[in-house]
Chains A and B, each alone.
Chain A
Amino acid sequence: MTELEPLVRAPLDTKVVGHSAQRIDGWEKVTGAARFADDLEFGPGLLHACIVESPHAHARILNIDTRAAEKLPGVVRVITGKDFPYRFGLYMQDRHIFAQDRVRFVGEQVAAVIACDPRTAARAAALVQVEYEPLPAVLDAVQAMEPDATLLHPGLGAYEHVPWFFPRAATNIAHWRKIRKGSVEDGFREADVVLEDTYRVPRYAHCAIEPHSMTGLFDAAGRLTVWSASQSPFTQRHLFAQALSPLGLSHKDVRVVTPYVGGGFGGKAGVSCEILAAALATAVPGQPVKVMWSRAQEFYNTYQRQGVVAKLKLGVKRDGSITALQHQLYWDAGAYVEYGANVVNAVGLSATGPYRIDNVSIDSVCVYTNLPPGGPYRGFGYSEFFFGLESHINRAAQAINMDPVAFRRKNAIREGDTLAYGAHMNPNGLQEAIDRTAAAIGWGTRQQSEDPHKAIGKSLVLFWKAPAMPPNASSSAFLKFNEDGSLNILISGMEIGQGLLTAMAQIASEILTVPVSKIRVETPDTDRNPYEWQTVASHVTWGCGNAVKNAATDAREQIFALVERACGIDKDSLYLEDEKVKSRFRAGWELPLRDFVISGIQVPDNTFKGGPIMGRGMFMPEFSSAVSDPETGQGGHPNVHYTTGAGGIVIEIDRQTGKTTVLKAVLAVDVGKAINPDLINGQITGGLLQGLATALYEDMRFDENGRLLNPNFSDYKIPTALDIPGEVIPIIIETAQPDGPFGARGMGEHTMIPAAAMVANAIEDAVGVRLHSMPLTAEKIALA
C-alpha cells in the first residue's frame, strides 16, 4: 500500500476568515424574501415614466412637440432636454441628462413622459413629435479617427475631466493613454523574431438578470431620495447632487437607497439611466416617479462593453526572452465616454500583461462613435486586450519553437519587477498558478478524442488585473453592538452577488469572536451607512474589508479601554474569546460582551461606566497617485496592486461543424487570502462561464445605421444550465497582499479575463486554426 502524502498547508491562524461559511444572505434569497429595487412599494401615488428615444445614431434635434402627449388623460408632465440642460459624468462630464441639440446613438433619451400608469406613459411617449436632421453616423473607431471624420462632440475641449485624461479637442479622440518605457526600437532590433498582427473584439452586454429599476422622490421640503439597483450608491449621490446643483440641491439633501442588486458586472456602476429618476422626481415634487428599464433598453441604453481593435508587435529572442512590446488599442467607446474612457486608461497602464518587458510602447485610444455608451464590464478592458496579447504570446512561443507554457514561465512578472509605468510589482503567486494549472489540464500530454471526427486541444494563459480607481477612492464602516451581543455592520460596499456581506461579517467575526450567525451587514442607504466610493474594480474585499477590519479593531480597543477603566485590569492583558473578554493575568475571569456592550459595566459604587460600543473604520490607499507624464506615463503610482493567475482549458472540436465543447476549464488565482473559499469558487465557476460565452457565441450586432439588432435573450444568447463546461477546477493561491485584510486582494473580475484567449489558443492546438476576431464561433472555425 502506498502512503498518501499529507497535504502541506500553512498553519491556520484564523478561526473564521479562511473557512467556507454559508452566505448570510443565502436564506433570504432562497426563500424569495430578498428585496430588489423593483420590489419596493411606493403606494398608489406612484407615477411612471416612459422615455422617448432617438431613432437615429446621429442627428440634430430641430424641434420637439409635446402638445399631443400632454393632452392625453393621465399624463402628468412631459420633460425634454430644455428642462434639464445639465451635464454629468463620472470621469468626464460629456453627457446630458436628456439630449440637448443632438442625439448621438440609437436609443438615446430625448424626452420623458410622466403619467399615472406605465401604459399611459408609453402611449403618450409615442405621441411626442421630434423633428430631426440626420447627420453622418460614425460607427467605426478607426474611421472616427480619420481627419475628415464627422465630429461627435464639437465641445470636447471644454468638458471637465479628471487630470489623468488627455482629450484632443476638435477630434473624436476623448483620451489617449501613452506608456513609454525603454526603447522599443532597440528592443525590436535585438529580437530574433518580430511578430505583428491585429485582433478584434466586438461589443458585449452584461445581461444581469435584473433590469435597472429606479424610483425618485423629491419631497416638498426639497429632499431628493432615489431607490435604485446600483453598485454605486455614494457615487450616484455625488453625481446626482453635482448635476442637479443648479436646483439648489446639496449632497446632504440627496439620499440614495440600494437594496439587493440582481447582478451588476459593471452595468450598474457609476450613473447611467439612474439619473433619469433623480431628474424626473424634481419635476413632480411630492410624488414618487419610477423608471423601469425594459430588457431591450438594458441592451441598448446602459453601458456596453467596448469593442477594440488591437495591433500587437512583439519581439522575442531564441532563448525565449521578450525584448519589446508595442500594443496599440483603438477603442470603440461609443457616444459618451464619461466612464468608458477610464477603461481605456486602465488598459493603457497594464497592456503588457503579467510579463517582465523592458521596452514597452502602449497607446490606448478612446474614440467616440455613434454607438451606445461604453463603460465598465467585469474585467474593465482586460478581457479585451488579453484576447490579442495571449494569442500573440502563444504565436511568439511557436515562432521560436518553445513550449508556450515554458515561455510564459520564463517571462512571467515577479515581485519587485518594474511595471510599464515605473512602479514595482507586488508579491504574487504567478509561478505557482502556472504550475498548478498546467498540472490540472495535463499539459504536455496530447489527448485523442474517442470520436475520429473530433479533435482535442489545450491551452494555458496568464492574466492579471489591478483595480482601476481614483488614487483616493476610499471605504468606511460603522459597527454597532446590540443588547444581546449581536452586531450590525453598516457599509456601503454593495452586495451584488459576490458575497461581500458574508465576507465582511467573517472579518468582523474573526476580530470580535462574535459568530457570523450573530452579524447582520446592512445594504447601503447613504443617510445611514458610511461612505464607499463604488463596488467595482474587485476592490471591496480589499478596501471595504480593511475598513471593516479597522472598525472591528476600533470596537475591540474601546472594549479593552473600558474594561481597564471599570475593572482595573491592564488592557494589554485582555483578549477576546467566544464573545467574552478574558485576561492573561487572571485565569478564570471573563466578562461576556452582551453584559456590557450597550449598558456599560457596573462598578462597586453601583454606577455604570461605558455605554454603547460603536466601531468606526476607514481605509484609503495613501500611496497611490494618478499624475504622470502624459507622453510616457512615467512618474505616478496609479494602480494599488495586481491580482494574477492562470487559466487552462481542454476543448473538443467537431472538425466538420466547428462546434467547440469545453471539457475542462481551470482557473488559478492568487487571492492573497481566501476570506471564504466557497464564495471564491463560486466566482470562478460563474466568471469563467461568462467569459467562455463571450469567447464562443455572445456578440452584439449592429446594422449599418447603428441600430442594435439583437437586444433580447432570444437573439443574444447567454449560457443556460446546459451550456456549462464538463468540469470546472478552481485553484486558490494565497500569496498575502501586505496591505490587504488578512492578506486578501480582489478576484471577482479576474475569473472572466483569460477565457477568450484560453479558447483561441486551444482551438489552434486542436485544429490549427488561428482566429483573430471574437467570438470564436463554430462558423469561423468550420470556414477557416
Chain B
Amino acid sequence: MKKVPIRFRLNGIDRELDVEPADTLLEVLRDRLGVKSPKTGCDHGDCGTCTVFLDGRTARSCLVLAAEADGCDIVTLEGISRDPSPLMHQLAKHNSFQCGFCAPGVVLSATELLRANPHPTRREIQEAIAGNLCRCTGYTPILEGIEAAIEAAAIEAATIETTAAERSLP
C-alpha cells in the first residue's frame, strides 16, 4: 500500500516520516519512534494506557491513525518528564501506582484535568481518570496522590499571595 508522508511535533521536536495508512499513532510512536510510555493494553480504546496529548487534549493513540496526526502537536509522558510536575512528585510520594502500567495514561489525564480545573472535587477527579483502567490499586492511592498535589498547589498559591500582601505593606 502507498505510504503516507506525515509530519508532527513530538515532545517539542519536529518529526517527518512515511507511514502506512493503517498504522495507528500508537504503533508509530512505539515501534517507529521509540516512545514507549504509551502502552498497548487493549487496542480498542477501552483501557486508556495508550493516552497521549494531541494538540493539548488527551487522546487514545490506539484509536488515532498516524496519518490523522499529520500537523499535530503530540506530547507523551516522556515530554512531561523532562520537567517533572508537582503532580508527578505527589503521585510518587503517595505510592499511587503499583505495577505502573497505567501510570503514563493516568498522569496525562490528571494533568489535563488540573490544567483546566485546578480545584476539582473528588468526583471530578474520578471522572477525569475513569477512562484509565487500573487493576492494582483500587484507585484510592491515585486519588490521594492527585488530591495531595492540588493541596500542595493551593498552599503554594496562598504563600505567594501572603508574600505579595506583605510586600504591599507600607
Residues of A that sit less than 8 Å from B by CB: 20, 22-23, 25-36, 38-39, 41, 119, 206-211, 260-265, 292, 294-295, 496-499, 678-679, 681-682, 684-690, 712-714, 718-722, 724, 728
Residues in A whose Cβ lies below 8 Å from that of B137? 682, 685-686
Name A31's contact: one of B42, B77, B95, B142 (CB within 8 Å): B77
Residues on A with beta carbons closer than 8 Å to the beta carbon of B46: 295, 712-714
Q: Check A685 against B44 for contact (C-beta < 8 Å).
A: no
Assess the A721–B41 pair: CB atoms within 8 A: no
Question: How many contacting A-B pairs (Cβ < 8 A)?
Answer: 170
- The CA of A368 and the CA of B96, in the complex, are separated in Å by 41
B115 close to A (CB within 8 Å): no
With A32-B37, A34-B100, A295-B43 given, name 18 new contacts (CB 8 A). Answer: A23-B95, A26-B93, A30-B84, A30-B92, A30-B97, A30-B103, A32-B107, A208-B99, A209-B101, A209-B102, A210-B39, A210-B41, A295-B47, A712-B46, A722-B127, A722-B130, A724-B140, A728-B140
Among A30, A119, A261, the residue within 8 A (CB) of B88 is A30
A211 touches B40 (CB 8 A): yes
What is the CB-to-nearest-CB distance from A626 to chain B, in angstroms, rounded to a whole number?
A: 31
Q: Is B143 an interface residue (CB 8 A)?
A: yes
Q: A32, B95: Cβ atoms under 8 Å?
A: no
Using CB atoms, name the residue of chain B closest to A688: B138
- Decide: B136 and A22 in contact? CB cutoff 8 A: no
A332 to B165, alpha carbons, bound, how many Å?
71
Known: A32-B37, A718-B133. A496 touches B99 (CB 8 A): yes
Is A497's CB under 8 angstroms from B138's CB?
no
A27 touches B92 (CB 8 A): yes
In the complex the two chains form, is A682's CB within 8 Å of B139's CB?
A: no
Query: In terms of DSSP, what is the predominant structure of the interface of chain A?
Result: loop
Partner among A29, A38, A41, A690 whose Cβ is within 8 Å of the Cβ of B103:
A29
Residue contact A210 to B101, C-beta cutoff 8 Å? yes
Contact indicator A497/B99 (Cβ below 8 Å)? yes
Report yes or no: B100 in contact with A25, Cβ–Cβ below 8 A: yes
Q: How far is the CA of A25 from the CA of B22 in the complex (A)?
A: 36
Residues of B near A681 (CB, < 8 A) are 141
Contact across chains for A499 and B98 when beta carbons are under 8 A apart:
yes
CB distance from A717 to the nearest CB of B (A): 10
Would you call A31 and B88 a contact (CB within 8 A)?
yes
Min CB distance, B3 to chain A, in Å?
14
Pick from A292, A684, A713: contact of B42, CB below 8 A: A713
Verify A33–B98 contact, CB threshold 8 A.
Answer: no
Contact A721 B143 (CB under 8 A): yes
| B70 CB within 8 Å of chain A | no
- Report A-chain residues with C-beta under 8 Å of the C-beta of B135: 206-209, 263, 265, 686, 690, 718
Asked whether B112 is an interface residue with its Cβ less than 8 Å from the other chain, the reply is no
Q: In the complex where A499-B98, A686-B138 touch, is A33 in contact with B81 (Cβ < 8 A)?
A: yes
A713 to chain B, nearest CB (A): 4
Return chain A residues, CB-CB under 8 Å to B143: 721
Complex Cα distance, B131 from A402, in Å, reads 46
Q: How far is the CB of A554 from chain B (nearest CB, A)?
A: 30
Q: Are A262 and B100 in contact (CB under 8 A)?
A: yes
Flag if B107 contacts A263 (CB, 8 Å).
no
CB A437 to nearest CB in B, in angstroms, measures 18
In the complex the two chains form, what is the Cα distance from A562 to B43 in whole Å?
A: 57
Check if B104 sits within 8 Å of A679, measured CB to CB. no
Nearest-Cβ distance from residue A186 to partner chain B, whole angstroms? 45
Is A499's CB under 8 angstroms from B95's CB? yes
Contact B133 A209 (CB under 8 A): yes
Residue B91 is within 8 A (CB to CB) of chain A in the complex: yes
Contacts of B98 in A (CB 8 A): 263, 497-499, 682, 686
* CB nearest neighbor in A for B44: A712
Partner of A36, one of B91, B96, B101, B129: B101
Tell me, in angstroms, the Cα distance from A724 to B139 when the chains sit together.
7
Question: Closest Cβ of chain B: how far from A277's Cβ, in Å?
Answer: 17
Q: CB within 8 Å of A: which of B88-129? A: 88, 91-93, 95-104, 107, 125-127, 129
Inter-chain contact B141/A682, CB cutoff 8 Å: yes
Contact of B77 with A32 in the complex, beta carbons under 8 Å: yes
**If A26-B97, A32-B104, A210-B41 touch, does A263 touch B136 (CB 8 Å cutoff)?**
yes
For B81, B99, B102, which residue has the most chain A Cβ atoms within 10 angstroms? B99
Q: Which of B22, B91, B107, B140 has the most CB of A within 10 A?
A: B140
Q: List the A side residues contacting B37 at CB < 8 Å.
A: 32
Closest to A685 in B: B138
Residues of B within 8 Å of A685, CB to CB, are: 137-141
* Cα separation A211 to B40 with both chains bound (whole Å): 8
Q: Is the CB of A721 within 8 A of B126?
A: yes
Q: How far does the alpha carbon of A745 sit from the alpha carbon of B37 in the complex, in Å?
A: 34
B73 is an interface residue with CB less than 8 A from chain A: no
